[in-house]
Structure 1
Amino acid sequence: MKLCGNILHLEGCCDYKSSKKFKFTSIPSKSQIKIDCSLLEKMDFSFAIFLDECLKNRGVSYELINANPKVLEIFSLIHSRKDFQIQIHKKNLLHRLGEWVCQKWIGFLDFLNFFGLFVFALLRTLFNPKLLRFRSLLYHIHTSGFKALPVGIVTCAIVSGAITLQGVLQLQKMGVPLASVETMAKLSLREMGPFILALVIAGRSASAFTAQIGVMRITEELDAMRVMGFDWYQFNILPRFLALVIAMPLLVFVADGASLFVSAVVIKLQTGITFAQYIERFYENVGIIHFWIGVIKSPFFGAAIALVGCYRGLEIEGNTQSVGKYTTLSVVNALFWIIVVNAIFSVIFTRFNL
């Protein structure tokens, strides 16, 4: 490209790379030029768009001379584009609120669809147990449940020790250090064991379920299963759901033992109450109902974790960025629903004086 007076000469093959060699600042702004295409051999569409935008940004009007029909057609298409006339309107608060409500409503309907298909697959499996993928169930019990046991036990033990220490200090000030035995034991059995363990499993298994199913969606494995006539829920959702529902009560039993042991050690170190006294006081004042309350809640925790993790996995789109987005979202949602389920059970048990 060469600029001679008010005539811009286009020469040879003009593409997007060749446009970078020309300085458009040499063209006076708010001027009028003519573009001579007599020596032009070839022009691509990207160069024409670039030239048109650069000239318009400087307020320069132009006219084509000696142009062949192909070049004229390219510039006619550019001038007929409507995207130059699009005006971006700022969204006000009401508009954004409406969009948010609409998105949440669509998400709720999608979850209802997912949950309905899941319930159908679950009932069909209960009436026909041969449909259950037993090997897959055992695999997920091992990977999602028992492999999380070490970190779950350590977490429950640390939290139990910290809360017991604070509780013992307060009860000592009140002059009733012995009351710390039944108080901390009931708290460990009802809350710290099942609840803290559920939080650990949610962070570990919900994210794993979402990532696994999401990758299957990206690699089109789920579409291949549908083409072959296999049911997603039968192969991917049910084994994960049943695995956590079965494994959670077993894990809670071990987590309760770890919480009680650490609680007894902290009480002994702080108050001098021996293990024999602890066991005797525990036997006299802590009923078996407190253990069962924690066990009863645990399958519901596992169900919430599995459903959230699998649902978010099916929401993942065909790109890797959505894997990180929905994996994070699944952990947050799982933690939220664990807290909600625990609060519901607390209200119910309190209502029945349990």
Structure 2
Amino acid sequence: MKTEKQKFLEMRKDGANSVLILRGDWDFKTSVFRLDELKKNLLDHQGSLKMDFSGCQKIDFVFGMFLFDLVRERSLNIELCNVSENNACALKVVKDWLEKEEDLESKKVGKKYELMITKLGKSIVETYNTFLNAFNFCGMILFYFIKSVFNPKRFCITPLLYHINESGFKVLPVSILTVFIVGFAVALQGALQLQDMGAPLMSVEMTAKLALREIGPFILTLVVAGRSASSFTAQIGVMKITEELDAMKTMGFNPFEFLVLPRVLALVIVLPLLVFIADAFAILGGMFAIKYQLDLGFPSYIDRLHDTVGWNHFLVGIVKAPFWGFAIAMVGCMRGFEVKGDTESIGRLTTISVVNALFWIIFLDAIFSIIFSKLNI
């Protein structure tokens, strides 16, 4: 009795050439055993090989893909012969499709650098459009603010007070704790270094100036940005998805006057007050650090602070605060109006608004540092 291998596959010698004869149907119903035997015969043979399909009744695309993939993967030298018209059509379709696929792959590799340049160009254009939208949004805020100044009845006092409390004073517990810890850590490191240099008392001056100019204002603003920018974007974004903004416009209410302006003014007003409190806790953290490291009493610390640190260092932090507040609120509200379609857009733009707000805080801080250095303040 013939085995299944002998029935469907047969290897013969035709002079110097080898011929592999296929019989029966070779399609998607073909057993794994038969495919493994075919693969073994093809891979074990060295040199060129003829495949005789004279006894093959049916071939489909699945077998064609299997055969041509094997030939291409192992670089086999195979010649097909005695293929019926129907089977030849099936094999030709598969072969043409694979050739097109290879062309597409080669084009993808060739366009690698072109795609990189395209992505870079798109990023530059998106950044440029973002800056234009930001300046346009700033202009609209200033326009409605001036409009409200000449007509004070347009100011929405209740939302303003609400956001001063919600975005300002409710942030204080986390903010002052963060500022205190950072002030303590920085003062401790500064005291250690100056103690090694033989000037331990200078750590009072250094840490106090750093606390008033950077640590207190900057750390506080980062905390406010993380909380307020995200909440502003989420609140306005949800209102846009639920069509509350359209309802406001229909009733004759301007979203800028009722949603944007109160939030912007709230942070511009409350942030200097929060900076004042943050400065106090940053200095307090430095005081505890120096007490711990240098054993310098609190009265001595305060006396040296009074003698060496001027009011200009305090004012530097206070002056920066309103600009930071404006940037945080502007970014949060602007991204909220960009929400489109679904909640996924809210999540994505909320993340973007926080990142943008942090960028503007750092950027403005660098600009102010340059300005104050040039003015010797």
TM-score normalised over the length of structure 1: 0.75
Distance 2:230 2:322 in 1: 18
Give the C-alpha shift of residue 95 in structure 1. Answer: 2.1
Residue 285 of structure 1 is matched in structure 2 by 308
Give the C-alpha shift of residue 28 in structure 1. Answer: 5.0
Distance 1:59 1:232, change over 3 A: farther
Give the C-alpha shift of residue 105 in structure 1. Answer: 3.0
Matched, 1:29 2:55: no
Give the C-alpha shift of residue 30 in structure 1. Answer: 4.4
Residue 55 of structure 1 is matched in structure 2 by none
Residue 272 of structure 2 is matched in structure 1 by 249
Distance 1:219 1:309 in 2: 18
Distance 1:59 1:153, change over 3 A: farther
Distance 1:224 1:311 in 2: 19
Distance 1:30 1:333 in 2: 53
1:226 to 242, 246, 249: 249
Q: In the TM superposition, what whole-angstrom CA distance separates every residue of 1:199-255 from its partner, at most 9, and x where no partner exists?
A: 010011111111111111111111111222211110100000000000001101111
2:258 to 223, 229, 235: 235
Residue 143 of structure 1 is matched in structure 2 by 166
Q: In the TM superposition, what whole-angstrom CA distance separates every residue of 1:82-122 from its partner, at most 9, and x where no partner exists?
A: xxxxx898562222222223323333333333222222111
Residue 344 of structure 2 is matched in structure 1 by 321
Distance 2:348 2:161 in 1: 29
Distance 2:122 2:285 in 1: 50
Distance 2:358 2:366 in 1: 12
Residue 294 of structure 1 is matched in structure 2 by 317
Q: In the TM superposition, what whole-angstrom CA distance separates every residue of 1:297-320 from its partner, at most 9, and x where no partner exists?
A: 111111110001111111111111
Residue 11 of structure 2 is matched in structure 1 by none
Aligned-pair RMSD on alpha carbons? Answer: 2.1
Give the C-alpha shift of residue 60 in structure 1. Answer: 9.9
Provide the secondary structure at the position in 2 that maps to 1:214. helix
Distance 2:91 2:160 in 1: 70
Residues 1-354 of structure 1 mapped to structure 2, 5 A cutoff: 25=28, 28-30=59-61, 90=108, 92-354=115-377
2:59–2:90: 8 Å Cα contact kept in structure 1?
no
Provide the secondary structure at the position in 1 that maps to 2:350. helix
Structure 1 or 2, whichever has the larger Rg, is: 2
2:168–2:274: 8 Å Cα contact kept in structure 1?
yes
Distance 2:255 2:273 in 1: 27
Distance 1:59 1:294, change over 3 A: farther
Provide the secondary structure at the position in 2 that maps to 1:100. helix
Distance 2:129 2:367 in 1: 26
Distance 1:59 1:319 in 2: 46
Provide the secondary structure at the position in 2 that maps to 1:316. coil
2:137–2:330: 8 Å Cα contact kept in structure 1?
no
Distance 1:109 1:344, change over 3 A: closer
Distance 1:271 1:136, change over 3 A: same
Distance 1:158 1:335 in 2: 20
2:241–2:340: 8 Å Cα contact kept in structure 1?
yes
Distance 2:136 2:293 in 1: 54
Distance 2:213 2:264 in 1: 23
Distance 1:109 1:286 in 2: 41
2:179–2:281: 8 Å Cα contact kept in structure 1?
yes
Contiguous gaps of at least 5 residues in structure 2: 1-26, 30-57, 63-88, 93-103, 109-113
2:179–2:219: 8 Å Cα contact kept in structure 1?
yes
Distance 1:313 1:126 in 2: 25
Distance 2:135 2:287 in 1: 46
Distance 1:102 1:193 in 2: 36
